[in-house]
Amino acid sequence: MPTGQLHIQLSDLLGAPLKDKVEIDFRPFSGDLGAGGEGMEVSVNMGREIDAIISALPCRGGVGTMYRVSASTPHYRDYSFFQTITENTVNMASDDVEFWIKPGDIKDIVAPEFSALSAKAQDILNTARMTAPQPDDRDLLGLSGQALYDSLGPLRKAGFLNILKKASHATAAECLPEIEGLLVSRQDRIFAFVNAGLEERVNASPHYRSADSSLHQPLEGFTMKRSFKSRDAHANLQLTFMIDNATGRMAADIDIDESSGIEHGTEVIHNGLFRSRTNPYLIREFMLSADPLTHSLDPGYAFVFK
């Protein structure tokens, strides 16, 4: 029986090798396209490599055989794609398999220490004036600087680092320098004072468009103004501006949104909700997928799995 080989790359979204075994399932496509194929299951230990060669895949001579290829590894979502295998050939995979994490498998993150944060990130924390619009904000009242950062916990810390990285990026008009003292920090958003000129700068920027602010509520004592969203295909930064009624100082509700979904092999991934809020671990994956070559949107933390 004719056979072919498959050259496939298997990694996480940072392009790093997988620590656990990868199971790859080959199923011939139904009908004539799958003629000559046989179901196979292959286990691959990647070690420090991301490239694997799968040999002895049965196929039809000439035009070859179409397979549905499904890859799985612990703590990550399965990845499936269609692949033609032709005889006596090392067939290059039609997709590079870049696994997305399963947020429910994460128990913690490994994040930079406070002293390793940028000077701007430290300043946002050092000048914090934390408020508690909701009960789960209360544990941060009165905190600032390192004590605040250390008390965020994995979900809120991941959300904070996501937003700071995105706000520093060219696709968000590098607005991070104009974010000032933190007011609220949640897993899906932050509220912070901002430079008074940021609203007009964003309004004039080609990187932003007007956005619906109806799902955003101002902090108590603030009046809502306009909302803008960056024009990225994925991982959009949204800035919803508000004015402190007592002082006239500008603040913003800042979050990263992904509502349209992104292709992942034969699936589409949408934002996951955790405790009725956007999951920051998935937002990290959306950010990485937005720049798969240079990883310029890597927020700089790693996952610890259960």
**Contacts of residue 84, Cβ cutoff 8 Å, sequence gap at least 6:** 64, 65, 66, 67, 91, 94
Strand-pair category, 51-58 with 90-92: unpaired
Confidence at residue 225, expressed as pLDDT on a 0 to 100 scale: 95
Confidence at residue 85, expressed as pLDDT on a 0 to 100 scale: 98
Confidence at residue 275, expressed as pLDDT on a 0 to 100 scale: 53
Q: Which of 55, 69, 217, 75 is nearest to 134 (CA)?
A: 217
Confidence at residue 46, expressed as pLDDT on a 0 to 100 scale: 87
Q: pTM for the complete prediction?
A: 0.92
For residues 83 and 89, give the distance between their C-alpha atoms in angstroms, rounded to a whole number: 13
Confidence at residue 233, expressed as pLDDT on a 0 to 100 scale: 80
> How is the chain split into domains, by residue range?
3-99, 104-305
Confidence at residue 268, expressed as pLDDT on a 0 to 100 scale: 52
Confidence at residue 185, expressed as pLDDT on a 0 to 100 scale: 98
Whether the Cβ atoms of residue 167 and residue 179 lie closer than 8 Å to each other: yes
Q: What CATH architecture does domain 3-99 belong to?
A: Sandwich (2.60)
Q: pLDDT 10s digit of each residue in the chain, 306 long?
A: 899 999 999 999 999 999 999 999 999 999 999 999 999 999 999 888 999 999 999 999 999 999 999 999 999 999 999 999 999 999 999 999 999 999 999 999 999 999 999 999 999 999 999 999 999 999 999 999 999 999 999 999 999 999 999 999 999 999 999 999 999 999 999 999 999 999 999 999 999 999 988 888 999 999 999 999 999 888 899 999 999 999 999 999 999 986 555 555 655 555 554 456 789 999 999 999 989 899 999 999 999 999
**Contacts of residue 210, Cβ cutoff 8 Å, sequence gap at least 6:** 226, 227, 228, 229
